[in-house]
């Protein structure tokens, strides 16, 4: 793990070298300045700073610094499961008359990548992510993957630092509030589901998706996917992750079929 002094020097935008004699004082000052600001934005009092540093650490930053350590990918994996559990639990208890299919649809709209990126934007999460210049530029161009993944990593960090209740309160405040306000982020229509329903209504085979190309560096890849029905290619699409590319391919297929 990179030393906290280096991490928070990056967060605060300070690039000058720190005199070893002043290192401890500088570290405390940087921690105080940045952690307090971050705590205000996420509405949580941090105990273990290291786990939140890791949650904010994108792998491109480690690669640029040529430093050993772990990025936020494992926390993102963990946070995804925690997020889905909290959302499912909330929907189950608050909508007792809703059928399984309806609950699944609402949950998918609440936790899709564009929705997560929107929640992250509300708390200015991109201001704190440690990443390379090229990764930061990809966010500036509208790529949602990095901020969405970091949002999930922060949920995992909160769970590890404060337990399930802390993570639940954060998710209900940042995510479920959109449902209570009647402003569920639908982002893109679920074209894959629409294509599947169309295929079934016409007696066609189940749509098959295949990745035909992957381009770009690891932190900013572009996937191209083709979708086939009855062994005929019906559409292709590109995106910053496989799900986005599949949705784009399904959308094109629907345009050609309808």
Q: Which residues are identified as catalytic?
A: 80, 152
| Structure token digits, residue 7 | 């991490």
Question: Which residues are CB-contacts of 227 (< 8 A; sequence separation ≥ 6)?
Answer: 195, 207, 208, 209, 210, 233, 234, 235, 236, 237, 246, 249, 250, 252, 253
Q: Number of C-alpha atoms within 13 angstroms, CB side, residue 194?
A: 16
The structure tokens listed for 142 are 């509208």
Q: How far apart are CA 79 and CA 64, in angstroms?
A: 25
Q: Where are the alpha helices (DSSP H) in 141-190?
A: 145-162, 164-171, 177-180
């Amino acid at each position: 793990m990179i030393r906290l002094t280096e991490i928070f020097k990056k967060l605060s935008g300070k690039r000058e070298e720190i005199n070893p004699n002043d290192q401890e004082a500088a570290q405390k000052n940087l921690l105080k300045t940045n952690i307090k600001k971050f705590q205000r934005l996420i509405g949580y009092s941090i105990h273990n700073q290291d786990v939140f540093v890791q949650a904010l650490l994108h792998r491109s930053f480690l690669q640029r610094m040529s430093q050993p350590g772990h990025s936020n990918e494992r926390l993102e994996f963990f946070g995804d499961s925690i997020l889905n559990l909290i959302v499912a639990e909330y929907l189950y208890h608050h909508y007792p008359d809703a059928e399984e299919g309806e609950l699944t649809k609402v949950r998918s709209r609440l936790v899709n990548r564009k929705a997560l990126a929107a929640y992250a934007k509300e708390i200015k999460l991109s201001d704190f992510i440690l990443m390379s210049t090229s990764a930061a530029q990809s966010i500036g161009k509208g790529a949602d993957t990095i901020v969405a993944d970091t949002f999930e990593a922060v949920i995992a960090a909160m769970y590890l630092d404060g337990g399930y209740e802390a993570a639940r309160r954060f998710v209900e405040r940042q995510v479920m509030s959109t449902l209570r306000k009647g402003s569920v982020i639908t982002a893109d229509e679920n074209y894959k589901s629409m294509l599947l329903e169309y295929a079934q209504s016409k007696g066609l085979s189940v749509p098959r998706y295949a990745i035909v190309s992957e381009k770009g560096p690891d932190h900013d890849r572009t996937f191209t996917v083709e979708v086939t029905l009855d062994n005929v290619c019906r559409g292709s699409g590109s995106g910053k992750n496989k799900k986005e590319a599949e949705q784009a391919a399904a959308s094109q297929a629907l345009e050609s079929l309808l």
